[in-house]
Amino acid sequence: MSWLRDKLTSALGDDFVRGVAKGASWLLSANILLAIIGLLRGGITARYLGIDTYGELGLVIAFVTVVNGLLDFRVWEAVIKFISEYLGKGQTRQASAIFGLCLALDVATGLLAFGFVAATAHILPGYFSD
């Protein structure tokens, strides 16, 4: 591992490598903390709801996640790519137009997903009842 650190330090500079390592350590610490909190939250929720109701909650969360995966256009990736490109060139009008379009698309797909989940919410319980 030290050979990698030496190569990065010589190529990018010691301050840059130190900054990246510091940022990565904060990110890793935050992810570990979130995993621990998620584990505690899941255990408390399961204990409070009971086995059957916790299973129903899992099905609802899975259904909403699938609908989100199908209807999400991931427009914010375009925002990051194109807005940084346009702002780098000083084209603020184009950057704001891209932002407005992506915001409108995200709101529209969110409303569409909400409508789909609300419209099909009464159908699904019939498949999982006794």
From the CA atom positions of the chain, what is the Rg in Å? 23
Average pLDDT, whole number, for the chain? 87
pTM comes to 0.62
63: nearest Cα among 130, 118, 108: 118
Q: Locate the domains of the chain by residue range.
A: 1-49, 51-130
Give the model confidence (pLDDT) of 70-111 as tens digits.
988 888 888 898 998 999 999 999 999 999 999 999 999 999
Percent of the chain with pLDDT over 90: 45
> Contact at 8 Å (CB) between 60 and 122?
no
